Structure 1
Amino acid sequence: MHSKNNNFNEYAVIDLGSNSFYMLVVKKINDSLKVIYKNKKNIHLATGLDNEYQLSKSSIKRGISCLELFAERLKDFPVSHVKVVGTYTLRVAKNRHEFLRAAAKVFPYPIEVVSGQEEARLIYIGAINNEFVAKSDVKFIIDVGGGSTEIAIGINSTPILVESRPMGCVTYAKQFFPLQAIDRQSFERARFAAEQQVEKIIKLVKSKNISVAFGSSGTIKSIYNILLDIGVTDGIITPKRLDDLVSYVLEFKHFKDIDYPSLTKERKHVFVSGLAIFYGVFKAFGIQELHYTQSALREGLLYEMVGDHKIHQDICQQTIKNLIKQYNVDEAHANQVAITAQHFFKQWQQFSPVIIDKILESILYWSALLHEIGLSINFSGIQKHSAYIIRNSNMPGFNEEQQFLLSTLVKYHRKGFKLDTLPYFSLFENKQIYPLLQILRLAVLVNNQRSNTLDPNAFKLMVLDDDPYKIALTIDKAFAKSNRLIRLDLEQEQQYWQQNKPWQLELKIG
């Protein structure tokens, strides 16, 4: 793997979309970013999804071949300078691990699959960092992708509504225009299906008094370019212009017949379905004027990767704080568990040969802060309730695997467990996950008495025989004498570990 080079000033973001895979490479010169390379391949990944949400072998193969090509361009890039995200199709594909495992063989960078809401947030961040967009007050952004459509509303740099709907130009082309024939009935069916998808948020969106609306993505870029083709000099999308464009398009009989200078042969396959989605949403929300913006998901990723590494961490921190507040978590106790986890982790780190990065370390502390979030449902089975809430919450700043890891750590934080039931992760290895889980379990357990005066220094943790799964925990003699319940709990924990080889917990009084 590539080593970290502090003088390396190029960054790459790759968007593994349902329609196309797109790579953008920029160079940081002083404080500005200059685009030095772009590469877009139409993979049509979403066409490979069957009714059971299984990706076909051929679509996986197309995707992997593309990543192999992209890897050639990124040969000298450190991992910290490359950000790769998968969107709708990789989100919903039940066999996405097949794709991710095959990708790992030819592409040496982690692929993060993001939730629809996280995608909408990143699109918003990317769009508002465009100078023109930033001038407006209440901003509305829509992005019609290959498999899903993202909608975000925000004030200044803060998104206040992020939504994702499972409707995209590739999936709707397959569903409503299987023979690529154009007729009003099919178009209206697709349009009303799109309206139905946003039905529940129409009132909310209209109440926000949007001052200006923006659209990103290939579909909206095509609409903008066709308006320029037919003589609309500013390219602004208005209800009248959109109605006229739909009427023109419905005069064609087949996708391949659509004849506008700016519409590429590739885009013709998905333009009508994308137009139907956009038309449905535009009408449903009563938008009066919409501008095309080039900046979206990739720019959002770049901004958070290059702009300031702290920005992303702050977003995650705020997400955790919001959850703590929403579910009335006992903060004093949660903080005590997090402090203990930090104490154990620092000691573990001194002895362990395994490298755990800052993100994973943060996930450990966040799991400590949220381990009791399920108390709002019931104490009995709290670990399952807590895991469920974390798994199903909107968590800005987290990709799907980070969120899943957080919920997994919390799910296994107490009681008996079986290591072989732990889920598979493509971004993390067991040698990283196991120690986090061990530390979390011990941190929660020694705080069972809920004493906010517990001194973590009463415990000393060591790794035995250079084996990161073998832990020796030494308990201060005076502490052990006056806290017999904690000692009994630790002895029970010892038995749980024995049932899960290669884990081992050795207890000492010293």
Structure 2
Amino acid sequence: MQQQPTLAAVDLGSNSFRLQVARVEGDQLYMLDGLREPVRLAAGLTADKYLDAAAQQRALDALGRFAERLRGLPRAAVRVVGTNSFRVAKNAGDFIPQAEHTLGFPIEVIAGREEARLIYLGVAHGLPPSKDHLLVIDIGGGSTEFIIGNGLTPLKLESLYMGCVSFSNRFFPDGKITKQNLKQAELAARVELQTIVAGYKGQWQQALGSSGTAKAIADILELNGYCENGITRNGLEKLRAHLLKVGDVQQLDLEGLRPDRIPALAGGFAILYAAFCELDIATMSPALGALREGVLYDLWGRFHNNDMRDVTVRQFMQRYHVDTSQAARVAKLANLFAQQFLGMEAADSALQMLHWMSSLHEIGISVAHSGYHKHTAYILANADMPGFSRKEQARLSLLALAQRGSLDKLQGQLKNTEDCVLATSLRLAVLFYRNRGDIPLPELHGHFSGTKFHLTIDADWLSRNLLTETALHEEVRQWKTLGVSMQIVAA
């Protein structure tokens, strides 16, 4: 992929939407301008997890402004990620197409641990080299990420379902702060933290807060004389006493508290205070980087042939003891078919997806050989796969399910020509190499007219390989059940 001089990352958070633009110079990434919009998307989640109309409109308005700044940038140079509110909203599938149309770029909804990985990447790149193990906490609007890492390598990644907006709405809906509701919020956060305390406590030397909540509280503590630098346990105790004394977030008169931070302050404070208590944090420093910087560095890595998704695929192949020779055979032949079927329309991204799928198509054998394609599909849909978005994992899962067997199960799921071609290419490659050996194949000539697949094969070879010929005729029948025409020509 040709290197672009400018990259952009958009973080669609549950509290704020953020845009960061960076310039690429050689092997360096220089941050340029950024934009922030306090959308408070999580505040628009109803009790039954639907984004209300007002929140959707706030989001669309913000994306319209971002679109102006992104205009002219190529699609490959921009990455847009959606976090917790997009993960949990039941109507996200209806809203995302509107959001993509307004912004002009596709939106990737990422899993919690992938969000944590990208956060750490953004934080770590902004730090000087150190041997210390770092604890990074990012309090978002709907979730909070906890990461332990060393250097540029994250070692532990967790995402808990508690955020400054969701906790503020749940425990402080009218903005009133009492001993009772503050204690309830802190206890709820401590209960969530119990799931990770054993693996995190005492495993780090330096604590960093990468979120707007941590940075806002650090400013408040310093500017109001509660502590001299960063965040301390004693400083939090003083701020806690002040919150209870005032008793209403709208009445707070604190130096450094921005108006847009007021609605989510109490919930964010409760989570941070609970983290200090449960993880025995004495001091915390605000971090310079965060999710959007991590997205930029991850995107930059893709331009430099250092794609985390490739690393993940190799790790999965090792973890699930994949037969690498068979995977390579299938990948090579599937790529040949896809290029023939798609012709000049073959996008690099489609061929890359097919290569990943071919490499991973047999990981389900580690569960059971019978129905292994179903096990593969389940793993790819549900595993933590660093670098992959939920949409990419869903696409891999669909292709895994499509690789063999009846196609009835895919009724209505192969919704575009590209996915149909990728599924066909993978199925044919698996079919031709079902004996798992380096058998000599005849010349294979494929063509796709847009409505019909044509595959021309040497007639003599087919006559000597009757099992393959039978399987090909069955393939024609299977695609017919989906209304797709396929013709096998012996020549």
Whether these two folds match at TM > 0.5 is yes
1:76 aligns with 2:72: yes
1:185 pairs with 169, 180, 183, which one?
A: 180
Helix, strand or coil at the partner of 1:272: helix
CA contact (8 A) 1:471 1:505 kept: yes
CA contact (8 A) 1:5 1:78 kept: no
1:485 pairs with 461, 467, 483, which one?
A: 467
Q: State the superposition RMSD in angstroms.
A: 2.2
Pairing 1:58-457 to 2, within 5 Å after superposition: 58-132=54-128, 134-206=129-201, 208=203, 210-231=204-225, 234-306=228-300, 309-310=303-304, 312-313=306-307, 315-349=308-342, 351=343, 354-356=345-347, 358-418=348-408, 421-423=411-413, 430-450=416-436, 452-455=437-440, 457=441
What's the CA shift for 1:118?
Answer: 0.7
What's the CA shift for 1:474?
Answer: 2.4
Aligned to 2:38: 42
Q: What CA distance in whole angstroms lies between the structure 1 residues aligned with 2:402 and 2:30?
A: 46
What's the CA shift for 1:419?
Answer: 8.1
Q: What CA distance in whole angstroms lies between the structure 1 residues aligned with 2:170 and 2:411?
A: 37
Map Cα deviations across residues 228-282 of structure 1 (whole Å, 9 max, x no partner): 1123665232322222322222222111122211001111100110011111122
What's the CA shift for 1:35?
Answer: 4.0
CA contact (8 A) 1:84 1:112 kept: yes
Q: Which AA in structure 2 matches 1:250?
A: L
What's the CA shift for 1:219?
Answer: 0.7
Give the aligned length: 491
Structure 2 residue ranges without an equivalent (≥5): none
Aligned to 1:462: 446
Q: What CA distance in whole angstroms lies between the structure 1 residues aligned with 2:57 and 2:208?
A: 35
Instruction: Label 1:153 to 1:478 Cα distance change in 2 as closer, same or farther (>3 A).
Output: farther
Instruction: Label 1:391 to 1:143 Cα distance change in 2 as closer, same or farther (>3 A).
Output: same
Q: Which AA in structure 2 matches 1:388?
A: Y
Q: What CA distance in whole angstroms lies between the structure 2 residues aligned with 1:422 and 1:221?
A: 47
Map Cα deviations across residues 416-441 of structure 1 (whole Å, 9 max, x no partner): 224874448xxxx7122111111111
Instruction: Label 1:234 to 1:486 Cα distance change in 2 as closer, same or farther (>3 A).
Output: farther
1:11 aligns with 2:7: yes
Structure 1 residue ranges without an equivalent (≥5): none
Q: What CA distance in whole angstroms lies between the structure 1 residues aligned with 2:71 and 2:319?
A: 45
Instruction: Label 1:463 to 1:268 Cα distance change in 2 as closer, same or farther (>3 A).
Output: same
CA contact (8 A) 2:338 2:346 kept: no
Q: Which AA in structure 2 matches 1:54?
A: Y
What's the CA shift for 1:307?
Answer: 5.3
What's the CA shift for 1:120?
Answer: 0.3
Instruction: Label 1:391 to 1:308 Cα distance change in 2 as closer, same or farther (>3 A).
Output: closer
What's the CA shift for 1:86?
Answer: 0.8
Q: Which AA in structure 2 matches 1:484?
A: L
Instruction: Label 1:339 to 1:244 Cα distance change in 2 as closer, same or farther (>3 A).
Output: same
TM-score calculated relative to the size of structure 2: 0.94
Instruction: Label 1:9 to 1:327 Cα distance change in 2 as closer, same or farther (>3 A).
Output: closer
What's the CA shift for 1:33?
Answer: 4.4
Q: Which AA in structure 2 matches 1:407?
A: S
Q: What CA distance in whole angstroms lies between the structure 2 residues aligned with 1:102 and 1:375?
A: 40
What's the CA shift for 1:131?
Answer: 2.8
TM-score calculated relative to the size of structure 1: 0.90
What's the CA shift for 1:331?
Answer: 2.8
Instruction: Label 1:10 to 1:20 Cα distance change in 2 as closer, same or farther (>3 A).
Output: same
Instruction: Label 1:106 to 1:159 Cα distance change in 2 as closer, same or farther (>3 A).
Output: same
Map Cα deviations across residues 288-342 of structure 1 (whole Å, 9 max, x no partner): 32111120111111112235623552x2122112222222333332222222212
Q: What CA distance in whole angstroms lies between the structure 2 residues aligned with 1:33 and 1:376?
A: 41
CA contact (8 A) 2:353 2:396 kept: yes
Instruction: Label 1:281 to 1:311 Cα distance change in 2 as closer, same or farther (>3 A).
Output: farther
CA contact (8 A) 2:171 2:184 kept: yes
Q: What CA distance in whole angstroms lies between the structure 2 residues aligned with 1:33 and 1:234?
A: 32
Aligned to 1:495: 477
